[in-house]
Chain A
Amino acid sequence: MPGLACSSAPPTPHAARGRDFTMSFASARPLRPDRPPDRRARLYRFGALFGAGFRRWSTYRQAALAGLFTNVVFGVMIYSLLRALADDGRRPGGYDTTQLATYVWVGQGILSVVHVWSWNELADRVRSGDVTADLLRPIDPFEAFLAADLGRAAYAVLARMVVPILAGGLMFTLYIPHRLHTVPLFVLSLTLGTVLSFALRYLVNLGAFWLLDARGLSAVWLLASGVFAGTFFPLRFLPEWAQAVLWFGTPFPGLFQIPLDVLVERPGPAQQIGSVVLQLVWVAILIPLVSRVQRAATDRLVIQGG
């Protein structure tokens, strides 16, 4: 910084110049009563954080490529297994072969959109103490992280979802939806699935405020989201009682199984819409829950010290 070095210490405060300079820093109206930002400002803020999440992930192109390769390989493997179950005209879980192909290939595509894997960003920030920077901002950390995660998901739609679907479409016959509302309903359901997944991942991370190390919790999450959301196999392969427990007792089918069932039109039209309503109900339950746990977590932090 050659130019700056010249004006180096000891600085003799240049009153007039200094005043002129700082006027633009200090707020113009001293000690004004702060109003919370209006709806437009909040929307703009959410959009900006969303965009940041999108761009942030778009910088890791090689990781996206490697992930794509894995998706395609796993797509072939899983579909071959499931296809064997559907031999002789059988319909495992009530799916025909095109529905199964779509379940598998679109499933590979939305895996990284919904992001059912582990996510430790918040827990890491708690452990390193960087979380204080999040608390020192005039925004609810959950809102800020959610916006960024939805941005990440939007990037994943482009980078991780399109290719597996095309690959699957080239190799196998996919199911083409018949109902008009299916595609928009799928988009909504996928968005809700992402929000649900994020809320659960965030909840797991909040555990770090108590445990400091959320890796144990994270492992439990990883197993639960894998098995109970339907990423390893469609939940409809399970006995009915187990399905009932999972659908109505846990939010997990909402992450993965519901968006895919909506797309392949596995349930009738009423049930198709009903399952999206179920996702909405889980969102309505989880978001206030996350808020409460977050408040307890911050209280704990601010009382006991980081």
Chain B
Amino acid sequence: MIDTATETMIETDTMIEVRDLRKEFTIKRKIGRVRRETRTVSAVDGVELSIARGEMVGYIGPNGAGKSTTLKMMTGILTPTSGHIRVCGLEPVPRRRRLARRIGVVFGQRSQLWWDLPLRESFRLLGAVYTVPRAEHEARLKRCRAMLELDEFMDTPVRQLSLGQRMRGEITAALLHGPDVLFLDEPTIGLDVVSKQSLRAFLAEIGAGGEVTTVLTTHDLADIEHLCRRLIVIDRGCVVHDGTLEALHARYGSRRRVVVDLDEAREPDVRMPGVAVEGVEADGRRITFALDGVPAGELIARIARDGGLRDVSVREPTIEEVVARLYRQ
């Protein structure tokens, strides 16, 4: 039994609390005719995180890093080997059914809709399954229909929807019971650019109110850039970064680049600390500098002083770059 003390504890603003979370899987492998070797694999290895009400957090990591395993443990469909988890003040696995009323979950590759029935029916059924008061249900559905433009396919059976349409339906389905926490596992996977953008715009609107706490896992880092102030990076079962995107860039030395086009090939005198020539193109008339903590203006001023500067562009470090570097480490 879970004592009530632990449950009332979370009347604070912490919506998700995870301490020293571990999950080990045992894998059996045949070696020889009868003998089997048992190996223990650690999928999540001491994850710690705490997410406050209204935060929208990006949870990323390479394939097999333990993202989905963590998400499964937070939603109560996987028992941790050890550690402490509270979501909305509830221990997920023993309180799975109670927690289900408090959370909304979208697994990009699974469906929670009724395949053979029109979307409208699925929503009505979800209202009944979650025993949502009718007025509340109608109000939320109205918002979603307007914002996600569901009306044109409300009467289409789910199996006939396009992926983008279905995903809009899935997100609506996850929100209809007014969850405190929304878990989105790769919600934009497989969507085209336009669908991705509109889904992001919708999620940003929800996030902006600060009432729904959102955990978003994705491989599309543009999702994170557009939606999440905070980013948690997990690799080999451990949290390797927890902070803002800027902090990630600062920590892993993401470098801005300055590309200059010159009138004629020459080697500008830029012996400044923190500036390195990264590439020379167009017979020496285009030079790329990598900056490490140096303001771009300072470098540009130095080059302009010598004359013959035709064009300048500054390139911001991309999130892909820094994350790729992070994964490789």
Chain A residues with CB under 8 Å of chain B are 1, 3-5, 7-11, 13-15, 17-28, 30-31, 34, 37, 41-42, 44-45, 47-49, 52, 55-56, 59, 129-130, 132-133, 135-140, 144, 301-306
Residues of B within 8 A of A140 (CB): 97
The CA of A211 and the CA of B208, in the complex, are separated in Å by 46
Is A14's CB under 8 angstroms from B148's CB?
no
Given A138-B100, A138-B130, A304-B25, A31-B10 contact (CB < 8 Å) = yes
The CA of A192 and the CA of B148, in the complex, are separated in Å by 44
Q: Interface residue count for B (Cβ, 8 Å)?
A: 69
Residues of B within 8 A of A144 (CB): 129
For B206, give its contact among A25, A37, A52 (CB under 8 Å). Answer: A25
Is A18's CB under 8 angstroms from B208's CB?
yes
Is A25's CB under 8 angstroms from B157's CB?
no
Is B121's CB under 8 angstroms from A132's CB?
no
For A34, give its contact among B101, B139, B148, B226 (CB under 8 Å). Answer: B101
Say whether B55 faces chain A, with CB atoms less than 8 Å apart. no
Chain B residues with CB under 8 Å of chain A are 10-11, 23, 25, 53, 69, 72, 75-79, 88-89, 93, 96-98, 100-103, 105, 107, 110-112, 114, 116-117, 121, 124-125, 128-131, 139-140, 143, 147-149, 157, 164, 175, 178-180, 194-195, 197-198, 200-202, 204-212, 222, 225-227
Is A11's CB under 8 angstroms from B200's CB?
yes
B75 to chain A minimum Cβ distance, whole angstroms, is 6
Seed contacts A18-B209, A135-B77; 5 additional CB < 8 Å A-B pairs: A3-B149, A4-B198, A22-B209, A56-B116, A132-B107
Is A11's CB under 8 angstroms from B205's CB?
yes
For A25, give its contact among B76, B212, B222 (CB under 8 Å). Answer: B212
For the complex of A and B, the 7 pairs showing the least CB-CB separation, nearest first, are A22-B209, A18-B208, A26-B211, A4-B198, A48-B128, A13-B208, A11-B204
Residues of B within 8 A of A27 (CB): 102, 178-180
Given A22-B210, A31-B10, A45-B129, A306-B202 contact (CB < 8 Å) = no
The CA of A130 and the CA of B103, in the complex, are separated in Å by 18
The CA of A64 and the CA of B264, in the complex, are separated in Å by 81
Is B11's CB under 8 angstroms from A31's CB?
yes
Is B97's CB under 8 angstroms from A7's CB?
no
Given A9-B200, A48-B124, A138-B97, A17-B212 contact (CB < 8 Å) = no
Residues of B within 8 A of A20 (CB): 209
Specify which of A47, A56, A305 lies most central, judged by the most chain B CB atoms within 10 Å of its CB.
A305
B39 to chain A minimum Cβ distance, whole angstroms, is 14
B154 to chain A minimum Cβ distance, whole angstroms, is 14
Given A18-B205, A24-B143, A26-B211, A138-B116 contact (CB < 8 Å) = no
B214 to chain A minimum Cβ distance, whole angstroms, is 10
Residues of B within 8 A of A7 (CB): 198, 201
Is A139's CB under 8 angstroms from B129's CB?
yes
- Closest chain A residue to B198, Cβ basis: A4
B68 to chain A minimum Cβ distance, whole angstroms, is 10
Residues of B within 8 A of A47 (CB): 128
Interface of B is mostly: helix
Residues of B within 8 A of A23 (CB): 209, 211
Specify which of A27, A45, A48, A59 lies most central, judged by the most chain B CB atoms within 10 Å of its CB.
A27
The CA of A13 and the CA of B207, in the complex, are separated in Å by 8
Is B88's CB under 8 angstroms from A31's CB?
yes
A31 to chain B minimum Cβ distance, whole angstroms, is 6
Residues of A within 8 A of B164 (CB): 1
Is B226's CB under 8 angstroms from A22's CB?
no
Given A23-B209, A24-B140, A56-B117, A138-B101 contact (CB < 8 Å) = yes
Is B207's CB under 8 angstroms from A306's CB?
no
Is A52's CB under 8 angstroms from B125's CB?
yes
Is B131's CB under 8 angstroms from A9's CB?
no
Given A21-B143, A130-B110, A26-B178 contact (CB < 8 Å) = yes
Is A302's CB under 8 angstroms from B201's CB?
no
Is A52's CB under 8 angstroms from B208's CB?
no
Given A19-B209, A27-B180, A304-B25, A138-B202 contact (CB < 8 Å) = no
For A5, give its contact among B69, B117, B194, B205 (CB under 8 Å). Answer: B194
Could you list 9 A-B pairs, sorted by A, with CB under 8 Å?
A8-B198, A19-B209, A22-B206, A27-B179, A130-B110, A132-B77, A136-B112, A138-B129, A138-B130
Given A26-B211, A132-B110, A37-B100 contact (CB < 8 Å) = no
Is A138's CB under 8 angstroms from B77's CB?
no
The CA of A25 and the CA of B141, in the complex, are separated in Å by 10
Residues of A within 8 A of B200 (CB): 8-9, 11
The CA of A123 and the CA of B10, in the complex, are separated in Å by 38
The CA of A303 and the CA of B69, in the complex, are separated in Å by 12
- Closest chain A residue to B23, Cβ basis: A305
Residues of B within 8 A of A135 (CB): 76-77, 96
Residues of A within 8 A of B100 (CB): 136-138
Is A31's CB under 8 angstroms from B97's CB?
no
Residues of B within 8 A of A37 (CB): 131
The CA of A108 and the CA of B266, in the complex, are separated in Å by 93
- Closest chain A residue to B89, Cβ basis: A31
The CA of A140 and the CA of B98, in the complex, are separated in Å by 11
- Closest chain A residue to B107, Cβ basis: A132
Residues of A within 8 A of B180 (CB): 26-27, 30-31
Is B128's CB under 8 angstroms from A1's CB?
no
